[in-house]
Amino acid sequence: MNVDLSQLTEWRREFHRFPEIGWSEFWTTSRIADYLEQMGFEILLGKQIINEDFVRGRQSAVVEQGLANALAYGAKQKWLDKMDGYTGCVAVLDTGRAGKTVALRFDIDCVNVSETQNPQHIPNQLGFRSLNDGFMHACGHDAHITIGLGTALWLSQNKDKLSGKVKIVFQPAEEGVRGAAAIAASGVIDDADYFAGSHIGFCADSGTVISNPKNFLSTTKIDICYKGKPAHAGAAPHLGRNALLAAAHAVTQLHGIARHGEGMTRINVGVLKAGEGRNVIPAGAQIQLEVRGENKAINQYMADQVMQIAQGIAIGFDVDYETEIMGEAVDMNNDPELVKLVEEIALAQPEVHSTNADYAFNASEDATILGRRVQEHGGKAVYFILGADRTAGHHEAEFDFDEKQLLTGVKIYTTLVQRLLG
């Protein structure tokens, strides 16, 4: 294996062919582990990197299907055993020399999109389109896996030039901001002095790196379930407990949460499902909602109010209730020292002609949970955007990106590690 564009392209196309949705990335993880093992890394899996209390939005049907698909596609049993139901892995490189610790993060999941049949689409032309119907690497996380592996390969060949430790996090379930919290809470990167993560594409074309994206929105995705009691709507409505009515009241109250005076907030109830039949007092209701806030504290205010209302309504309507956090991300401010370093490194690449430091991200990304965890333990963090020309928007069926930027990504990460640990 050499860290060159042909190796990177080969990896990217291999992962592109077998996209897996969040928490079902069993084949993806096992394949990453195969490569990391060949490179000589220590590989942490399963509960070594996952705190089960912070696992968000993981559905058992998706997990079961993912396991079955992975086995059918040739995932190694030894990795599946070590994963113990939880996808993702962390590669650890200990140089054996005292020094700092750098954590890098690459997300590995796909999105629920069916890849286009358009014959002009390069994965169709070159025969590496998705084999998993209804799923596609339409956000570029196949690029992220590849850049992570390329960085790992370089590290394995150059560790004599470094001191300290590198931890490469291959994170599951970024879509829906579900995977980072469990990894952060496992403590696996608590010893990191530096953290770096990135996304390919978005607003930036090939040749541009956004070294300091701002305005990451904090968000919490919450499900509320009301459970009442069915009864005959004509003869005995007084014996029923109406979950639909409880949920309907909850929805209007949720949208009426007082706005925070110190910053932007959002709330959206996106799904309300309730009831079984016209003449039955509805016994079940489910609400799916999200809140957002300008920062972690303001978002937490919104989430706390949601929990309060969920409970208050349950008492008022005499129904049982459950809430579950399905996903979360926080805001994060990049540390200027690392922004400067990324900028300098990016501009030193001949193919990069500009760095845009002040781009407003205005979306959520759960790498922020890992970055902030490192910052809260006294470390420094940076998240940047690696420009790449695209054929369509992210999460679209025709999405594809300029594969040459894979090498640019590897060069930025490997130089960054060299500068921090060299």
Positions touching Zn ion (CB under 5 A) are 139
Q: Would you call 223 helix, strand, or coil by DSSP?
A: strand
Least distance (Å) between residue 108 CB and Zn ion: 11
Least distance (Å) between residue 14 CB and Zn ion: 19
Query: Toward Zn ion, which CB reaches closer, 27 or 399?
Result: 399
Query: Toward Zn ion, which CB reaches closer, 139 or 245?
Result: 139
Helices H, strands E: what count in the chain?
A: 12, 14
Least distance (Å) between residue 408 CB and Zn ion: 18
Least distance (Å) between residue 21 CB and Zn ion: 13
Least distance (Å) between residue 363 CB and Zn ion: 10
* C-alpha to C-alpha distance for 126 and 256, rounded to whole angstroms: 52
> How does DSSP assign 78-135, residue by residue?
HHHHHHTT---EEEEEE-SS---EEEEEEE---BS-PPP--TTSHHHHTT---SSTT-
* C-alpha to C-alpha distance for 306 and 143, rounded to whole angstroms: 37
Nearest alpha-carbon partner for 19 in 123, 116, 135: 135
Contact in structure between 249 and 316 (CB atoms under 8 Å) = yes
Contact in structure between 220 and 303 (CB atoms under 8 Å) = yes
Query: Toward Zn ion, which CB reaches closer, 294 or 366?
Result: 366
Classify burial at 125, counting beta carbons within 10 Å of its beta carbon; exposed 0-12, middle 13-18, buried 19 or more.
exposed
* C-alpha to C-alpha distance for 75 and 30, rounded to whole angstroms: 6
Query: Toward Zn ion, which CB reaches closer, 140 or 240?
Result: 140
Three-state secondary structure along 324-337? Answer: EEEEEECCCCCCHH
Contact in structure between 419 and 345 (CB atoms under 8 Å) = yes
Query: Toward Zn ion, which CB reaches closer, 19 or 46?
Result: 19
Least distance (Å) between residue 141 CB and Zn ion: 6
Query: Toward Zn ion, which CB reaches closer, 92 or 363?
Result: 363
Least distance (Å) between residue 383 CB and Zn ion: 12
Chain position whose Cβ is nearest to Zn ion: 139
Least distance (Å) between residue 101 CB and Zn ion: 26
Residue 329: both structure tokens together: 């991300």
Query: Toward Zn ion, which CB reaches closer, 173 or 188?
Result: 173
* C-alpha to C-alpha distance for 177 and 185, rounded to whole angstroms: 15
Q: Would you call 398 helix, strand, or coil by DSSP?
A: coil
